[in-house]
Structure 1
């Protein structure tokens, strides 16, 4: 069993726009590389891939594609992130299982981590990205991702993809 989660993957041009807005980050934050950027819908933890894929396929069947955009930065304790916005994003996340988690769902894309006791490290970035808004995109696919610890960090891989209706 491996750790699993479902996510929306931003298109390349949106990833490039975020990277451009960041410029050359540094200053004590542990930055997520752009190839790992995603909007988590639900986290499942250690689970059987086949069982979770079948469950997710049933939950997503017939669900429409959703419009998403990334905008202003915010923080959780120890995490700098961009808000993921779109009217159907939260309902999609709940269909994917987000409602089973103990905390309320907040759609976001993690940019960096920092020591919880040093929130000032992220203040510059929340100010710098306060006016950021990406273009909207139509997310027509949900990825079931694996999260595997490897030397040098955690690696995410798309294990299965589930198309959303274009209607």
Structure 2
């Protein structure tokens, strides 16, 4: 059911994501702590661990109630993928950790926005910045990272609002997934 406190009438900036379990967060934090003064660290804006998630679909400005109903239908009976954070890379101005797993592509396809043209590339954004050399160096440092596997038991529809310390992500609705992919 849509959370009435976050689904204010009208439109909001929405996306779906997989939340990370504590063990995945702890593992990645430990890996980052191994490189406390990594290359160009101060030139990058690091995402806070409490905001870490794996984006599945971005819907832009959309109606929370309508998107929730659409997702409820699309996610009915979808298996829970077994995933892990693994390797790293970059997009323009973004350092990320990769996400791989059985059933992840199928899940992403189920929640794919109707007008999305780009292929799904599972990742978790770690940092942003206008420091290409620092981002490339960090991507090399984290290239062999391999976190623990977990079963993603739910997809969360989030509302994203600008805040003083970056975007604030508020859950709108949670969608439980079926049995793990085997």
TM (norm. structure 1) is: 0.94
1:10 is aligned to 2:20: yes
Larger CA deviation: 61-70 vs 121-130: 121-130
Residue-by-residue CA offset, 1:41-89 (whole Å, 9 max, x unaligned): 0000111111100000000000011101001110001100011001311
1:124 to partner: Cα distance: 2.1
1:122 to partner: Cα distance: 1.1
Stretches (4+) displaced over 6 A: none
Q: Which residue of 1 aligns with 2:5?
A: none
1:83 is aligned to 2:88: no
Which is higher, the Rg of structure 1 or of structure 2? Answer: 2
Structure 1 gaps of 5+ residues are: none
Residue-by-residue CA offset, 1:128-159 (whole Å, 9 max, x unaligned): 11111011100010000110012232101111
Aligned residues: 165
**CA separation in 2, counterparts of 1:12 and 1:98?**
29
Q: CA 1:135 to 1:35, structure 2 compared with 1: closer, same or farther past 3 Å?
A: same
1:48 is aligned to 2:63: yes
**Equivalent residue runs for 1:71-150 within 5 Å:** 71-98=86-113, 100-115=115-130, 118-150=131-163
1:99 to partner: Cα distance: 6.4
Aligned residues of 1:98 and 1:105 also touching (Cα < 8 A): no
Q: RMSD of the alignment, in Å?
A: 1.3
Aligned residues of 1:99 and 1:105 also touching (Cα < 8 A): no
Structure 2 gaps of 5+ residues are: 1-10
Residue-by-residue CA offset, 1:5-41 (whole Å, 9 max, x unaligned): 0000110111011111111363311100001110000
